[in-house]
């Protein structure tokens, strides 16, 4: 069986709308431990854009198919495949597979089956943002119900995932966002996802939310902004609290406030999901993480970030929008190849 796939390829680094080309290529039948997958949906993540631009630590070999996440349906399998079956939905276990394509052949151990009861948008975006939120909540501080976490960039895809996981696990989630005309609408949306409170960067400087004892001081903080925002968030950490930096949207360094560093003995750590996934490729911890996330998704307790589905042939518009979109939720664009 031969299938002609349409793939978004690039042969040099640059802006996505300039270097990506929609090309056709023949896909041969899977052999041995290979699986042929029809890609149903694949998101456009900031890391995907940065990879195409040549600004990300992961450097593909050219010619390269863009994209890192997907959900797909198994069309057929090689005669030695045991872990997935024809008709199942799968998501990637490996990184850098090249997912902005209608069809692809992957090794059996590069994909993982997920229930068809998990929505396409949720499944397509499960391996980066929800996993980042999950690991940061699990791996740095031993949290228990009633504890508090605080984060800037609280309307990002990771931020939305943090709020939902905190609600599921009984943890108070305080989010910091930039002020904007639609701030009340944004606050309401994030609180519906599970945020305990949403404050602007100006409000957090004068808030008494922790001083009054309304909530415990945070044991854990997440930073994806850097600069003054990170410094302000770190001031609210409890004794021996930990700030985890996983992004730097302001492109400004993380500056440590001397007082909290000395007198509270706070710690600063970094986290990169790609590194964790490579180091824990086939571990029980990784399998349990995916099970927990899929269970919440099937129960309707975890939804995909605010998103827009875009046809593959509109990729230039989607890539340009992903680069320029400044909406209050940081909307994610997902390439839709399900039809």
pLDDT value of residue 213: 84
Q: Determine the Cα–Cα distance for residues 44 and 90; give it in Å rounded to an integer.
A: 18
Cα separation of 192 and 184, whole Å?
12
End-to-end Cα spacing for the chain: 20
Active-site residue identified among 10, 56, 134, 281: 56
Residue with tokens 């360094």, as numbered in its chain? 253
**Any catalytic annotation for residue 246?**
no
Name the nearest CA neighbour of 106 among 45, 160, 35, 176: 35
CA pair distance 266, 34, nearest whole angstrom: 48
Given a cut of 70, whether residue 326 has pLDDT beyond it is no
Q: Which of 272, 296, 328 is where one domain is finished?
A: 272
Residue 28: give its domain's CATH number. 3.90.180.10
pLDDT at residue 211 tops 70: yes
Count how many domains the chain has.
Answer: 2
Q: Which is more confidently placed, 283 or 319?
A: 283
Which pLDDT belongs to residue 317? Answer: 87
Q: Which residues contact 142 (CB under 8 A, 6 or more apart)?
A: none
Rounded mean pLDDT of 65-90? 97
Cβ-based neighbours of 65, under 8 Å, separated by 6 or more: 7, 8, 9, 98, 99, 100, 101, 104
Residue 185 domain-assigned?
A: yes
The confidence score (pLDDT) of residue 325 equals: 60
Percent of the chain with pLDDT over 90: 88
Same domain, 104 and 136: no
215 plus 178 within the same structural domain: yes
Considering the domain architecture, whether residues 133 and 265 belong to the same structural domain is answered as yes
Which residues constitute the domain of residue 146?
Answer: 129-272
What is the rounded average pLDDT of the residues 11-35?
95
Assess if residue 285 is contained within a domain.
Answer: no
For residue range 109-118, list pLDDT tens digits in order. Answer: 999 999 999 9
| pLDDT above 60 for 328 | no
DSSP characters over 95-163: S----SBSEEEEEGGGEEEE-TTS-HHHHHTSTTHHHHHHHHHHHSS---TT-EEEEESTTSHHHHHHH
Q: 242 near 267, Cβ under 8 Å? A: yes
Over 90: is that where the pLDDT of 1 sits?
no
Residues 193, 262 within the same domain: yes
Q: What is the pLDDT of residues 125-137, one digit of tens each?
A: 999 999 999 999 9
Residues 114 and 138 in one domain: no
What was the pLDDT predicted at 311? 95
Residue-averaged pLDDT of the chain = 94
Shared-domain flag, residues 144 and 238: yes
Residue 41 and residue 25 share a domain? yes
């Amino acid at each position: 069986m031969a299938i002609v796939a349409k793939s978004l390829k690039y042969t040099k680094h640059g802006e996505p709308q300039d270097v990506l080309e929609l090309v056709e290529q023949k896909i041969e039948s899977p052999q041995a431990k290979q699986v042929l997958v029809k890609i149903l949906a694949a998101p456009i993540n900031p890391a995907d854009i940065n990879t195409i631009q040549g600004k990300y630590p992961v450097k593909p070999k050219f010619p390269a198919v863009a994209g890192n996440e997907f959900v797909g349906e198994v069309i057929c399998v090689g005669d030695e495949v045991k872990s997935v079956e024809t008709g199942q939905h799968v998501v990637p276990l490996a990184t850098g597979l090249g997912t902005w394509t209608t069809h692809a052949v992957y090794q059996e151990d590069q994909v993982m089956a997920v229930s068809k009861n998990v929505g396409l948008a949720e499944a397509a975006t499960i391996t980066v943002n929800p996993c980042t939120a999950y690991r940061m909540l699990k791996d740095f501080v031993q949290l228990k119900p009633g504890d508090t976490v605080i984060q800037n960039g609280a309307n990002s895809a990771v931020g939305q995932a943090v709020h939902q996981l905190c609600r599921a696990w009984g943890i108070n989630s305080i989010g910091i966002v930039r002020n904007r005309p639609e701030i009340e609408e944004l606050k309401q949306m994030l609180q519906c996802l599970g945020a305990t409170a949403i404050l602007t960067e100006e409000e957090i400087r004068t808030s008494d939310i922790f001083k009054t004892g309304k909530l415990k001081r945070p044991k854990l903080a997440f930073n994806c902004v850097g600069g003054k925002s990170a410094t302000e968030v770190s001031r609210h950490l409890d004794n021996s609290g930990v700030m985890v930096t996983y992004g730097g949207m302001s492109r400004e360094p993380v500056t440590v406030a001397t007082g909290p560093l000395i007198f509270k003995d706070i710690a600063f750590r970094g986290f990169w999901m790609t590194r964790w996934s490579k180091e824990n490729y086939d571990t029980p911890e990784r399998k349990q993480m995916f099970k927990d996330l899929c269970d919440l998704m099937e129960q309707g307790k975890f939804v995909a970030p605010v998103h827009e589905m875009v046809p593959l042939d509109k990729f230039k518009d989607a890539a340009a929008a992903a680069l320029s979109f400044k909406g209050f939720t940081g909307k994610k664009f997902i390439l839709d190849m399900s039809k």
